[in-house]
Amino acid sequence: MFHVLEKRISEAVSARIAALYGIEFAVQTEQPKQASFGEVAIAAAFQLARQLKKAPKAIAVEVADGFTVDGVSSIEIAGNGYLNVRLDRGSYAWGLIAGEAQAGAHGAGKIIVEHTNINPNKAAHIGHLRNAILGDTFVRMLRATGETVEVQNYIDNTGVQVADVVIGFRRLENKSAENVRDLITSTRFDYLCWDVYTRISAYYQDHKEDAAEWRRETLHAIEADEGADAEIGHLVADAIVDAHLQTMLRLGIEYDVLPRESEILHLQFWASAFEQLKQRQAIYFETEGKNKGCWVMPGAAFRDDPQGEEDSKVIVRSNGTVTYVGKDIAYQLWKFGLLGKDFYYRKWYEYPDGHPLWASTDQPQANDLHFGGGSRVYNVIDSRQSYLQDVVVAGLRALGYAEQADRSVHFSYEMVALSPRTCVELGIELSEEDKRRPYVEVSGRKGLGVKADDLIDKLIENALIEVTSRHPEEAAEARKRVASEIAVGALRYFMLKFTRNSLIAFDFSEALSFEGETGPYVQYAAVRARNILRKLEERGEKIPDFRAALPLEALARQLNSNEDCWQLLLAASKSDSAIERAVASGEPSHAARYAFQLAQAFSNFYHEFPVISETNPEKKTFLLWMTEYFRAQLERTLAVLGIEVPEYM
RNA sequence: GGGCGCGUAGCUCAGGUGGAUAGAGCAUCAGCCUUCUAAGCUGAGGGUCGCUGGUUCGAGUCCAGCCGCGCCUACCA
């Protein structure tokens, strides 16, 4: 609603300026610093001052003189040339009641968002949670603005990390495929693999030659899909993928398709990409120097001022195998439908809500499913991989796909590290050097990190204590469900409140907090809004039909006589523009912060206006509508963040 | 060395395309529960926006140079 009006105002002022001065000027609207200045501010007079050789104030006077816009009650000149716009409150509110929201139909093509992408060789940790929560929230934001989105979770089931766990089971633990199969059903397998991976990594420290030899053998066996190594590789990767899916499902995160590395290999995706790269001369065969015998991409393709050979990137090794980046170029081509190939798909899992999850397969299937072929691609990958992402995009560009290269977005974010205090709580021994640092990097190899499920469990445990102390009379099952929703709300909000390039030094006490700027604070506001409406019905009163009960004049009367209500309503009506802005800037944190501000606004409303006990009938109806509107807006915004509203708190 | 990013209140962080008095949460202190749930609300204190220059009517925001910190810079993924 608000952004519709903003747009109308900026267009009208632009037209006005064109009529007055005969120039094209795209007027920007902004939010006034103070609420008392009005609802929309325009600084155009300052920007035009030089061009028109006039004082800003004089321009503002000319623009504002006799100028009106539909839905605007007044335009004032303030300061040295600001135009402050005041909305017609009654008609604004009436528009909200009548539901004049209408999301503009976006959707020129499918958007692909790839996130999570955890190596399927051990339990997920908090760093992975940031990736998945950022990605999932961005998907929800896009869908809220009307986009069609396909969610991909890439599974590297044939890489060294899986190989290392296979080696751990085979060489350190002496396990057969049959043993591993048993372990999958009888143990917390993703946790077991976490430990196996830590042990084999530690073993490599002292046995470098074994590492190289065993990895070569095992990777070869896995790629060829032969023997016990390959079998264990399948068992491990598939079981861990399932574990990750369950972990993410606890947070409400679902995927559409799992493109897997094994099919990229078996269906020769790389061979097709390799042909294209050679044909277009995006890569060349190096005949001398340190990269002799490799196919490399010259540094000039992805660097502004390459330092020479040092900067070229090996795509195919001298032994003929392709690097990760090479495979990623093939994968990226497929995402845009530029590879000329597709996977086959089999159903991997059906979510409790009925949503099917498909996974790639190399065997033809009865279905005729197709994925990929997006018009825009977001890769949610941490900022440490920006160099590799640059190379992938350079690959597209070198192949002549400039447009797709521009639409390949590295949705990067900084890592999640551990605060020193949290390390102490986890019983992790820190070196003197680490103790002086503000944070300690998570390391899967060292087993140094907080497992996702452990954190979620701990959050639920803490939430359950709070819930039980407040609502001892409620059924245990319901309390558990509420505690879980609060825990998820806390976790998702915590991961979203920071901007993407802010490094999170994970701290238990901070993450476990349910007060202040947290998910539960926002949930609490929504629960209280619902409570008011519920209490009313419990008293035998009915929620009025607001369209009939609140004519425009009544709305104008209420809003003009009460500044606080107007400000609160205004804030609540900005959810669409907040989400749009968050999408445009690629910052889910903006959406999270808006949710918090909205909750703050409602908390103020809650304390200032006793709704049910209000004796003036018109005012009571009006306050009820405000409550209902806040409830709807809070719930919509929380849904975009992937946070549920508990029955009670 | 090069690339990317960061430096704002005691702590953790926000600060659309430069604009009107730099914000929030936590922590601290002082208040508010016979009235829709105190996971809440009200108020107070707390700032050389790393430093120095520049651009201009105007800089936390843009530019340059410093200082400090982090990540990346593999024929690992």
Q: What is the pTM of this model?
A: 0.95
> Average of pLDDT values for A394-408?
93
Whether complex ipTM tops 0.90: yes
Mean pLDDT of A508-517: 92
Residue A104 has pLDDT above 60, yes or no: no
**Nucleotide nearest the Cα atom of A305 (by C1'):** B2
* C-alpha to C-alpha distance for A522 and A593, rounded to whole angstroms: 10
Rounded to whole angstroms, the distance from the CA of residue A419 to the C1' of nucleotide B48 is 29
Q: What is the pLDDT of residue A101?
A: 55
Nucleotide whose C1' lies closest to the alpha carbon of residue A574: B16
Query: With a 7 Å cutoff on the CB, does A532 touch strand B?
Result: yes
Percent with pLDDT over 70 in chain A: 98
Residues 82-101 of A with CB under 7 A from strand B: 82, 84
Q: Do A634 and A533 form a contact (C-beta atoms < 8 A)?
A: no
Residue numbers 3-62 of A with CB closer than 7 A to any atom of strand B: 28-34, 37, 41, 43, 46-47, 49-50
Nearest to A152 by CA among A109, A111, A110, A113: A113
Structure tokens given for A606:
């809650």
Measured CA to CA, the distance from residue A453 to residue A211 in angstroms comes to 30
pLDDT value, residue A288: 86
For residues A486-494, average pLDDT: 97
Whether the predicted pLDDT of A306 surpasses 60 = no
Residue A408: phi and psi, rounded to 5, are -100, 110
Name which residue leads in pLDDT, A79 or A584. A584
B68 C1' to A438 CA distance, Å: 14
Asked if A470 CB < 7 A from strand B, the reply is: yes
Nucleic acid strand B within 7 Å of A604 CB: yes
Q: Which nucleotide is nearest to A28 (CA to C1')?
A: B17
- Return the closest nucleotide (C1') to the Cα of A533: B36
Q: What is the mean pLDDT of residues A344-371?
A: 96
Please give the average per-residue pLDDT across A355-362, as a whole number. 97
Mean pLDDT highest for which of A62-76, A139-153, A446-460?
Answer: A139-153
Helix A324-335 × helix A269-279 angle, to 10°: 90
Per-chain mean pLDDT for chain A = 91
Tokens 């300690």 correspond to what residue? A440
Q: A138: which strand partners?
A: none
Whether A262 sits with its Cβ under 7 A from any strand B atom: the answer reads no
pLDDT of residue A299: 81
DSSP A403-461: HHHHTEEEEEEPPEEE-HHHHHHTT----HHHHHSS-EE-BTTTTBS-BHHHHHHHHHH
| C-alpha torsion angle, residues A403, A407, A408, A409 (rounded to 10) | 150
**Which of A's residues 230-259 have CB atoms within 7 A of nucleic strand B?**
none
CATH fold, domain A513-640, is Isoleucyl-tRNA Synthetase; Domain 1 (1.10.730)
Burial of residue A383 (number of CB atoms within 10 Å: 0-12, 13-18, 19+): middle
Q: Quote the radius of gyration of chain A (alpha carbons, Å).
A: 29
Quickly state the pLDDT bin for A429 (edges 50, 70, 90). Answer: confident
**Each residue's pLDDT tens digit, A238-255:** 999 999 999 999 999 999
A265, A223 contact by CB (below 8 A): yes
Q: Within 13 Å and on the Cβ side, how many CA atoms surround A258?
A: 27
- CB-strand contact A294/B, under 7 Å: yes
Residue A196 (CA) to nucleotide B1 (C1'), in angstroms, measures 39
When pLDDT is cut at 50, 70 and 90, the band that residue A105 belongs to is low
Strand B lies under 7 A from the Cβ of residue A287: no
pLDDT band at residue A107, thresholds of 50, 70 and 90? low
In this structure, are strands A82-87 and A72-78 parallel, antiparallel, or unpaired? antiparallel
- Answer yes or no: is A174 CB < 7 A from strand B: no
pLDDT tens digits along A574-583: 999 899 999 9
Summarize the confidence of residues A19-40 as an average pLDDT. 84
Q: What percent of chain A has pLDDT over 90?
A: 72
pLDDT at A644: 97
Question: How far is Cα A82 from Cα A347, in angstroms, rounded to an integer?
Answer: 59
pLDDT class of A68 with cuts at 50, 70, 90: confident
Residue A88 pLDDT grade (very low, low, confident, very high; cuts 50, 70, 90):
very high
Residue A463: phi, psi to the nearest 5? -65, -40
Question: According to the model, what pLDDT value does residue A106 have?
Answer: 64
pLDDT tens across A184-224, in order?
999 999 999 999 999 999 999 888 888 889 999 999 999 88
Contacts of A323 (CB under 8 A, 6+ apart): A314, A315, A316, A317
pLDDT at A134: 97
Task: Report, in ranges, which bases of strand B sit under 7 Å from a protein C-beta.
Answer: 1-6, 12-17, 19-21, 24-27, 35-37, 39-42, 57-58, 70-77
- Give residue limits of the domains in chain A: 2-87, 418-511, 513-640
Q: Which pLDDT score is estimated for A197?
A: 94
| Residue A102 confidence (pLDDT) above 70 | no
Residue A103 pLDDT: 54
Give the C-alpha separation, A551 to A91, whole Å: 10
Residue range A618-631: mean pLDDT, rounded? 96
Domain A2-87, second-level architecture: 2-Layer Sandwich (3.30)
CB of A454 within 7 Å of some strand B atom: no
Kindly determine whether the C-beta of residue A473 is less than 7 Å away from any atom of nucleic acid strand B. no
Rounded, the Å distance between the CA of A564 and C1' of B20 is: 22
Give residue A194's pLDDT: 95
Residue A289 has pLDDT above 90, yes or no: no
Judged against a pLDDT cut of 90, whether residue A24 lies above it is answered with no
